[in-house]
Structure 1
Amino acid sequence: MAFTHVTGKHRRPGRMHRGTARAAGVAALTTTGVVGSLAPSALAAGPAAQQTGLTPVVALGDEAAAQVDAQAAAQHEAARQAAQAAAREAAEEAARERAAKEAEEAREAEERAAREAERERLNAFVSPIAGSYVSTGYLSGGAVWSSGSHTGVDFHAASGTPVLSVGMGTVVEAGWGGAYGNQVVIRMHDGTYTQYGHLSAVAVSVGQQVTPGQRIGVSGATGNVTGAHLHFEARTTAEYGSDIDPVAYLRAHGVDL
């Protein structure tokens, strides 16, 4: 009795079929990640590590990380230097502002001191003849004076000696004054008047502003005199007869006689 072979059953796969199946299986395992879980011994028979591309990827990652670290360090250093530069600039600007403020305060203080010194100078009084003395006192009697007494004081002065304004004021008379000869009358800043008589020359004019110690003429012997000297009066008005004690007047204004 003869047996007939059934096609498709119990037949060993051909060589080509086995190779194709094996390749398909490996591909499937690779896709599902099973190969990644295999033991090293199982992978030893596979391709070399250099052929898989894994080592270059790891090396590239380390290099990139190093570059990022270097860039971060450079940025940090740049930020630190910028902060230091900004701090130095702020400190320098603050120093410049302090210096400017101190200079301005010093300038203002100097100006205040100068104004105060000028104010003191203008409010000061001086003797009408520097370094001189009173040779004839106030209210001295004698026939030489028409009123019977001396209405001012005489300062010793040779002819041509500079005559000074005793304080700040405005000239109200300058020229011939009869018995007083050449004279100057000044309205002082406090409202009183001073008179300077027997001058050989007048150096100011009516309306002129004068300051303490300013030269207003030179002494002489003009008018009703017996010799060169300066006749000085202090008055409450510009008119004759309103005289006050000139020595007391000068001393009250700080002049040492």
Structure 2
Amino acid sequence: MPAQARRIALPRAARIGIATAVTGAAFALPLVTAISAQAHTAPAAKPQQSNSSTADAAPAAAPQQAAPAAAPVEQSYQVVGGDTLSKIADAKQVEGGWQALYEQNRSVVGANPNLIFPGQKLALGAKAAAPAEAAKPAAPVAPAAPAAAPKPVQTAKPVKPAPQTPVQTKIEVAKPATPAPVTVAGVASYVSPVASPKLGTAYGVAGSMWSSGHHTGADFVVSTGTPLRAVAGGTVVKAGNGGAYGNEVEIKLADGKYAQYAHLSSIGVRIGQTVTAGQQIGLSGATGNVTGPHLHFEIRTGAGYGTDVNPIAYLRAHGVAI
């Protein structure tokens, strides 16, 4: 037989089997290769989730600004009967005393610091209000603690209130203070002989109804029963009926002059008594030779009639506003 390949004759069934096996092997090879590649490929990393149970810290609160300082409060006081600048300054603790109080209220009081009237409103100066506390910065928020298991709620027993004893409040009414004369640098001050003076017949008016030929004093228009005051400190030298003057009081003042009050309805001092500026000496009236109730007031250089000087000019020279 020649040395070349010879076709081996196989049965038909054998040939079909061989072909099928070859075809299956060819199909299976790429499938096995793909599966092997997937098996050797590393799985993609998954994003990790935080296991921390701590809550995010809250941002720190911004510091609060301090409240602005309160504006000064202007204080005032309304004058009542019997008040003086010295008493008001002491009672209201005015810095600088009555002198500072007078300088602050000169436009209200006028040229005479010793003459103030009920109803006048005096400024006491401004006092600063208490400074507000600066607000503290808010504390940082602590991390929230894990919630605890709820506890059973227990109902509290009602508490019986203790009996209260009624409080009794005792109200005490302050007694009015006796007005004291104001002194300036140790010298007795001067005041008007009546409060809220209103002038009538002036000093020096000529007329036959006066024995001297002129009016020797100044008349103040007041109704009967009006309190009369010593214009300055001194000693009483007359206190009684003075004829045409009716009931009269005469005071020798510290400077040697004499203050004479006429036509009084009531006399409240006695001869030899020492009086101070502003002290009540009697009540006005219409005794003696008069046409109606008023106060006839004189300033004399001597104790007797005919030594008169202008009483209004004298009082104004001593700081009394009339």
TM interval, shorter chain, is 0.5 to 0.7
Instruction: Output the CA distance in 1 between the equivalents of 2:257 and 2:286.
Output: 26
Residue 314 of structure 2 aligns to a residue whose secondary structure is: helix
Maintained 8 Å contact 2:182/2:189: no
Pick from 232, 238, 259: which aligns with 1:194? 259
Paired amino acid for 1:248 = A
Pick from 197, 221, 232: which aligns with 1:132? 197
Pick from 278, 285, 304: which aligns with 1:220? 285
Match of 1:145 in 2: 210
Tell me by how many angstroms 1:122 deviates. Answer: 5.7
Tell me by how many angstroms 1:177 deviates. Answer: 0.5
User: CA separation of 1:175/1:122 partners in 2, compared to 1, >3 Å: closer, same or farther?
Assistant: farther
Instruction: Output the CA distance in 1 between the equivalents of 2:214 and 2:314.
Output: 18
Match of 1:157 in 2: 222
Alignment pair present for 1:177 and 2:227: no
Structure 1 unpaired stretches of 5+ = 1-112
Residue 194 of structure 1 aligns to a residue whose secondary structure is: strand
Pick from 275, 285, 289: which aligns with 1:210? 275
Instruction: Output the CA distance in 1 between the equivalents of 2:260 and 2:221.
Output: 16
Instruction: Output the CA distance in 1 between the equivalents of 2:275 and 2:315.
Output: 17
Instruction: Output the CA distance in 1 between the equivalents of 2:223 and 2:182.
Output: 31
In terms of fraction of residues, the more helix-rich structure is 1
Pick from 188, 205, 211: which aligns with 1:123? 188
Instruction: Output the CA distance in 2 between the equivalents of 1:119 and 1:136.
Output: 31
Match of 1:242 in 2: 307
Tell me by how many angstroms 1:198 deviates. Answer: 0.3
For 1:44-59, list aligned pairs within 5 A. Answer: none
Maintained 8 Å contact 1:164/1:216: yes
Tell me by how many angstroms 1:118 deviates. Answer: 5.4
Instruction: Output the CA distance in 2 between the equivalents of 1:217 and 1:150.
Output: 23
Paired amino acid for 1:184 = V
Match of 1:71 in 2: none
Tell me by how many angstroms 1:226 deviates. Answer: 0.4
Deviations 1:179-231 (A, max 9, x none): 10000000001111100000001000000010111100000000010000000
Tell me by how many angstroms 1:171 deviates. Answer: 0.2
Residue 179 of structure 1 aligns to a residue whose secondary structure is: helix
Instruction: Output the CA distance in 2 between the equivalents of 1:186 and 1:174.
Output: 9
Structure 1 runs of 4+ aligned residues shifted over 4 Å read: none
User: CA separation of 1:226/1:118 partners in 2, compared to 1, >3 Å: closer, same or farther?
Assistant: closer
Structure 2 unpaired stretches of 5+ = 1-96, 99-180
Q: Structure 2 length normalisation: TM-score?
A: 0.43
Instruction: Output the CA distance in 2 between the equivalents of 1:168 and 1:202.
Output: 17
Instruction: Output the CA distance in 1 between the equivalents of 2:268 and 2:251.
Output: 13
Tell me by how many angstroms 1:119 deviates. Answer: 3.6
Paired amino acid for 1:204 = V
Q: Structure 1 length normalisation: TM-score?
A: 0.53
Maintained 8 Å contact 2:246/2:287: yes
Match of 1:23 in 2: none
Tell me by how many angstroms 1:142 deviates. Answer: 1.8
Paired amino acid for 1:167 = A
Alignment pair present for 1:167 and 2:232: yes
Identical-pair percentage? 56
